Structures are given as structure tokens and as C-alpha cells.
Chains A and B, each alone.
Chain A
């Protein structure tokens, strides 16, 4: 294995870290120099882009499997690495997933095997969110009945690319940072 003497992570080691294969001693060297790594985001996107089977431009990785991508059509959508698309990134992707809610002690017991530590199912349910394409588990939330699904991350992409990276996106618009999540239940209500 090549050693990163500078503390700036090499692309090879970066790949290993993404895969969970970089030894902790090497990770610690990287931690000591994180501030100075100007190429980090560019390298990250390049590595991620070469790993997915599709060609849409990755704008941001938001979880192990999910990316915000820029489509040729100009849309910015959430996309799973399996290729499944969740639609406009301004709408919480959880509302376009498959959902299973664990509501009983028996159902919780499948994932919390120590019974004394299990959740109180009178108060909360455990919601699991899956990709409709590959059924990877994308999110878990433990909330009371009726709790609106949490929108975990809504990035301000235009500010990020223009002001923080210095590489503005071609289609900047204030509308890109408007949460549109509630449009979807409104549509469902009308359809119902």
C-alpha cells in the first residue's frame, strides 16, 4: 500500500477509505491534514462517477447509495446507485421510497435483539425506507405515529458550487433551494 506522507489522501487511498478498507492508522494521518485538501471534493466526485453505471453528472452524494444528479433535461433528481430515480431533489426522497414500519415488539425484536433495550411501541414506530429498485435500506427513523417524515438533508447547491467551490452551476435559480416536499402530498390528496 502506498503511504500518504503528505497527509493529503491519494486517490487510491481515498477509494480504500470509501470502501471501508483504509487502516485506521492511515485514516489518522489524513485527519491531521484535512483542512488543506483543496482537491478533495473534485476527487470524490470523480471516484464516485467512475463507479456508477449511469452517466448523469453527480452533483452531490447524500448517503451511501443516493446522489443528487443533474440530468440532461436540466432536472436535478435524487438517484440511487442502482439507477432508480426518486425525482426532484427538492422533494424529500422518502416520499418516493418503499416504506416498512415496525410497530410491534416482535417486529422491533428482529433488529434490537436485547429485549430490555427495545423501543416502546406504544409511543414510537420504526420506519425503514428502501430503494424501490434494489431494496437497499436507505434510511431509518424512530418516531411517533403521525410524525412527518424527516427531510434529513436539503443542500443549497447553487451557493455551494458558486460561492464555496467557485464553479457555478449553469442553471442557477433561487427556486433550487425551495423545499417542495409538501407539493407531493398535496398532489396525492387531489388524486384521492
Chain B
């Protein structure tokens, strides 16, 4: 006898849900939305009660946490799923996670958790293992069944991004991990509590397997208390509306909002194929040494995507050609792909009455087995697979923006590039106190990409997290006791240029103060010297690269003691280093993620991220906009001249006559140094035939050519024989 309606088992209702959708094309086979049609006002009241319950759970529970990512940056979510696992309502926060819960419920159904370890009223379950649904082990899920008169009717779920996962690198965004065994504390679905309380043994795991036991235990208590509170409120809702209404209403929410999404695509987009590409790298060469020989290499990560806006309004993403799985930290599974990429769909089409899993009913993915999003090695490292998946968020932003632009919905365009810097840090103070932490403030607040009608706003949005917030410096300094923030500001000139330009990068500069016995910092970044996106918009330049620079053993303390001032960002820091004002014993500079960098007293840690791409031809940028750029120091005179062809006079105004002339010269230069596509093709083809390229590029082509679709395009474009091949060189 099962625990669900009509004594069905969990597996039976999950399978039935899948079958009904496959057969009818409607969620749960619902041809009609009876409750919605009979009394829309009542239905709205019902739905809003669910939303309010989730928000209430979040707002009260988060006060238990001490983790700044939960408290300030919104890196948490409370949600309500129906018995089948579809999320029907959620709080503010990490909205994408609603995509994962259906996978988790399906997995525990298929593993027959119903019989062993059993799913009883008051049982609390936990999981952060990406193989079973969560996207990566920093995102910890805690959930509770909701029973009503013996029937499983729902799940209440809480999750948040924890400070440290106990991996080989500190923090939760590690960028080195050859396998799951170095990812850190990764637990499959586990019953961790009974009678609405977590058990004591569970605390010991946080204590022994992560660096930040206090934060992580409090986070766990936050999640557990939130889901219990949400459980009680949901029982109230069921009492008010009746269990039949509740059960049926949750299904109607999904089907109704599926229809809204389809309608929105059909009314605002244009069907067809849209190509997306972003490139990044994983640079392990010489880092793991003899300990992990299979990881001792570099990879270019080929994030290719073809978004198909299909005739029926559904979206199919084909990522055939994506880099193969590897002995690195960045593999992932379908739930993670669904989760994070949905963040590109919320702002574009999926803004409905509630946050729910209806997207799963109108989006499909082709993820070839053996690719890094579908690893066949069960021990693949996944600690920061999201760093790669994040690139595909912007596939939806950019491809749908193209579609909206073509349809005339310019105001709905919202292009964006992949850019972000976060970091983890761990140390041992002079008195032996060990600490660890992380900061995501340059991930959770970025600038906007340019649209077809205006510049991107600065420091305004956060695609990976709906709660855009640049963080509170004081909180971060409490968490990271050695890091003094001496600068957090926009970086002039650092944006993708265009007729309309992207928003500027945000820079952070920290001074390391008395770290004691040891300190390491490892930064995550979204680019790797290959830019934030491979394709510009309508002739605009995509954003360039994130910047991470460590200046070791500087003389800044001495400068300050002598009454001097200090640089505020990496641009000023490097200028000071060049002119000798600032001295440093050594510099570590990166355009992407870093290994763990030992830091000492007086070191400077500079980073910048969040700039976005331009829209349109730079030579068409209006002079009045350029005068604003100059007035507010957003762009330098050098940049507006060399990039935009604008000459600035002594009054900081555009000299129109001189600028028109310069732009004409620049157009002529385009003519002089460009070539016909056919001539370019012949030159490029010779390089392809002779394989005249960098080793890492060689290995990228070698890998991608394993996939039939890329091979067909590549051989066809360069007119190569079927037996053309590229051998991997290590």
C-alpha cells in the first residue's frame, strides 16, 4: 500500500505524471483547468496563500543563519512541491532550484525510499549530491513530506548555498577537483531527522567534514526550521480549501503556467534556430603534478548551444559538441543544467504568477552522453560544474533577445555575457584559530548588457541570483578577518563597446592584514582570456575578461603609515606599480579562475567582473552619449577616440567635425584591412589543414570532432575529407 492518493506508491504517481504529459501534451493530462475556470478569484487566493507561506518561511528562517550569502545576498530558497515533486510555489531567492526538486523526488521514488528508509510524517531528508538532483554540493537541500490524513500531499523544501563544502579548496566554489573524492562533503539523499527535528549525528558531519562548522550547522537549522514552519502553514491551507482542491489545484498551477509560457514565446519571439557560443578554459597543467596525472593538462571548454524555438512554442536546446567529461571540477548532471539555465528563462519568458516547475514542461535539452553535462564516470568531479553551465544562462538571454528584437519587442531584450568573480579563503591566525569563508559580491551584482535602445545599467542585475546585491562590506570583513576592503567601484572603460555599450565592470581591492600563520585565497572567475561571450550583438563587442591580480608583499602598509593614500582598483594598482609608487615582490595575474594562492601581510588582492557586451556598431554611438561618458568618467578620452572615433575638445565636448572625419577614416580603415569572405576562407582553411594552432585549440577541435554535428559543420565549412582528424596532443 502506497503513501500517496488512492494508496498509490510514490513511484506510481511520478510515472503516471510523466505518462500523462507524454500522451496529452498537457501537464497531468489536464485539458481543462476546472478550478481556475470555476472561480478564478478563489484560485488566485489559494495560489497567493502558497506563495505567502513560502516567503514567510524564508524571511523568518533566514534569521537563524549567520551566512552572509543567505542573510544578505539571497542565496537561499524555500519552496513547496506537490507529491510528484513539481514545485508549485517558492519564496524569493535562488529561484532556479525549483527545477531540481522534481529530479530529487523522482530519484527517491525510483530508489524506493518509501520502503527503505521509509518516508514518514516528520522525517527530514537531506541531499547535496549532484547525481541525485542538487546542482552542486554547496547547495544543500533539506526537505520534509507533508501528510494529510495519512496521504502524502506535498514536500516542503529549503536550500541554501553554504560557506564551505570541505573540498580540496576552501569555500564552495572550488576550481580544482579531479573527482568527487576531492569535491568535499557530498551526501546522497539521506534521512537526517525524525519527528520534525534533525538528529544529533548529522551535526557531527558538518563539524568534521567542512571548515565552517558554525555557519553550516546554523544553515542546516535554518533550512530545517523553515520547512517545518512551511509544513504547518500548508496544513492550514489544506484545512481551509480542502485536500481535494489542494491536490488538484497544485496540478492546475503547473498546467496553467505552462500555457502562459508557450503563449509568451509565440507572441514575442520568432521560431527558428539560434546559435550561441561561449568559451572558457580549465587550466590544470603543472598544478596536480604526479598526484593526479590524468588531470595534469588544460582544456578549452566549448560551450556550444543551438536554441531551437519550435513551431509549438517549446524550446529545445541542442548542446551537441559540448566538451567531453573530464577529470576536473566542472562536470555536472541534467538537474544542474536545468536549474541554472532556468535563470536565463525567468527574466525572458518565465515570469509568471508564481515560481514553479512549469518550465520543465516546455523546455528540452539534448545533452550527449559522455559530455561534461552527462558524465558516464560516476565519480566525476562536480563542485563547480555550475561555473560552466552558467554560460548557458546567457544562451537564453542572447538568443531570445535576438528573437524578441526581430519580432519588434525591443524592450523585452535583455542580452548578457558570462562574467563573475567569487573567491574562497582559508587561514590560520597567529593564535592558531582556523577560519574559512567566501565572498560572492561580484557574482551577485553585475552590470547589464546593452540593449538595442540603450546602454546597459551599471551594477544593476544578477543573472545567477534574483536577489541582486553587491554585499555588505562589513559582513564580509567579519567573515574574512584578514581581508580589508579598500576599494569597491566601477571600472572605467571596462565594458563591451557598441552603439550602446554594456554596463561597466565592478572592481574590488582588498588589503591583507595580519593573516598570522597562513592564508590562501582561490578565486573563481567566469572567463579565461577568451572573453565573456564568443558572439557580439548586432555588431557590438562582447565583454572582455574578468580580472584577478594578487600583488604580494607590497609596501602599502608603509605608504599608509607615512600618511599616503591607497589605490582603489586593479587599474590604479597596476598604474602605481608601473610608476613605482607601489612596490610588490611578485605578481600573480589571471583572467580566469586561480589555484589556491598563498597570501601574506601587505598583499593586495584585486578583482573585477560584471562588465557586459555592447549592441551595435561603435561608430554609430551618439555624440551626446559619449559626452556623458566623458563627463562621468565612464570612458576615458583614449577609449572614446580609439574605439568610438570621437575627438574630445578642451571643454570635454565632442568636436563634431573632427569626429566625423575620424570616423570616416576608421570606416576607410575597415575597408582597407578587411578581406572578402572567400579570401578569408581560403586563408583560414590552410591553417585548418596544416593544424596551425595552439595545443589547447588543437585539443578542443580533437574533442569536438568526436561529435557528429560539430564534425559535419567543421568538415563542411573547410571542405575537408571524411578521414580528416585531429589527434589530441598532451
* Chain A nearest CB, measured from B643 CB (Å): 6
Known: A120-B591, A123-B694, A189-B719. Is A18-B410 also a contact (CB below 8 A)? Answer: yes
Chain A residues numbered 128-156 whose CB sits less than 8 Å from any CB in chain B: 128-130, 132, 135-146, 148-156
One of A64, A150, A157 near B277 (C-beta < 8 A)? A150
Q: In this complex, what residue of B is CB-closest to A21? A: B453
Interface residue A55 (Cβ < 8 Å from any Cβ of B): no
B536 touches A100 (CB 8 A): no
Residues of A within 8 A of B667 (CB): 135
Partner of A40, one of B409, B620, B684, B687: B409
Q: Any chain B CB within 8 A of the CB of A185?
A: yes
Contact A186-B716, Cβ < 8 Å, known A98-B671, A140-B535: yes
User: Which of B264, B311, B408, B714 has the most chain A CB within a 10 Å cutoff?
Assistant: B408
Contact, CB under 8 Å: A123 / B717: no
* Residue from A151, A153, A157 whose CB has the most chain B CB atoms within 10 Å: A153
Whether A141 lies near B717 (C-beta < 8 A) is: no
**Least distance between A122 CB and chain B CB atoms (Å):** 5
Taking CB atoms, residues of chain A closer than 8 Å to B688 are: 145-146
* Chain A residues positioned under 8 Å from B681 (CB to CB): 95, 185, 188
Residue in A14, A94, A113 whose Cβ sees the most chain B Cβ within 10 Å: A113
B266 near A164 (CB under 8 angstroms)? yes
Tell me which residues across on chain B come within 8 A of A22, comparing CB atoms. 453
* Minimum distance in angstroms from B329 CB to a CB of chain A: 20
- Among B279, B403, B639, the residue within 8 A (CB) of A144 is B279
Chain B, interface SS category: mixed
> Are A114 and B571 CB-contacts (below 8 A) given A135-B670, A163-B311?
yes
Contact, CB under 8 Å: B677 / A119: no
B71 at the interface (CB under 8 A from A): no
CA distance A113 to B273 in the complex (A): 34
Known contacts A98-B675, A144-B697, A146-B688, A182 near B408 by CB under 8 Å: no
Please, what's the 1-or-0 string for A21-34, where 1 marks a CB less than 8 Å from any CB in chain B? 01010010011001
Residue of B nearest to A145 (CB): B693
Q: Which residues of B contact A94 (CB under 8 A)?
A: 677
Chain A residues contacting B408 (CB-CB under 8 Å) are 14, 40-41, 43-45
Residues of B within 8 A of A62 (CB): 402, 406
Known A-B contacts A17-B453, A100-B670; A114 and B544 likewise in contact (beta carbons under 8 Å): yes
The yes or no answer to A35 lying at the interface (CB within 8 A) is yes
Given contacts A113-B639, A116-B591, A154-B273, contact A138 B411 (CB under 8 A): no
Q: Does B275 contact A (CB under 8 A)?
A: yes
Q: Give complex CA distance A46, B366 in Å.
A: 38
User: Which residue of B406, B619, B675, B677 is within 8 Å of A137 (Cβ)?
Assistant: B619
Q: Is the CB of A31 within 8 A of B406?
A: no
CA–CA, A161 and B359, complex, Å: 25
Whether B411 lies near A111 (C-beta < 8 A) is no
Interface residues of A (CB under 8 A from B): 9, 14, 17-20, 22, 24, 27, 30-31, 34-35, 37, 40-41, 43-45, 60-65, 94-101, 110-114, 116-120, 122-124, 128-130, 132, 135-146, 148-157, 159-160, 163-164, 177, 179, 181-182, 185-186, 188-189, 192
Listed in ascending order, the chain B residues whose CB lies under 8 Å from chain A are 263-264, 266-268, 270-275, 277, 279, 281, 300, 311, 402-403, 405-412, 452-454, 491, 493-494, 497, 499-500, 505, 528-531, 533-536, 538-542, 544-547, 549, 570-571, 574, 589, 591, 608, 611, 615-620, 622, 636, 638-639, 642-643, 667, 670-671, 673-678, 680-682, 684, 687-688, 692-694, 696-697, 700-701, 713-714, 716-719
Q: List 5 A-B contacts (CB under 8 A).
A: A64-B617, A98-B677, A110-B642, A117-B544, A132-B676
Q: A123-B530, A145-B693, A179-B273 are in contact. List 19 more A-B contacts (CB 8 A).
A: A62-B402, A64-B499, A123-B279, A128-B674, A135-B667, A137-B619, A138-B539, A140-B539, A142-B534, A144-B697, A145-B697, A146-B684, A146-B701, A146-B714, A154-B273, A156-B271, A156-B272, A159-B311, A186-B716
Complex A-B, nearest 7 residue pairs according to Cβ-Cβ distance, in ascending order: A44-B408, A120-B529, A140-B536, A155-B272, A182-B716, A189-B719, A98-B674
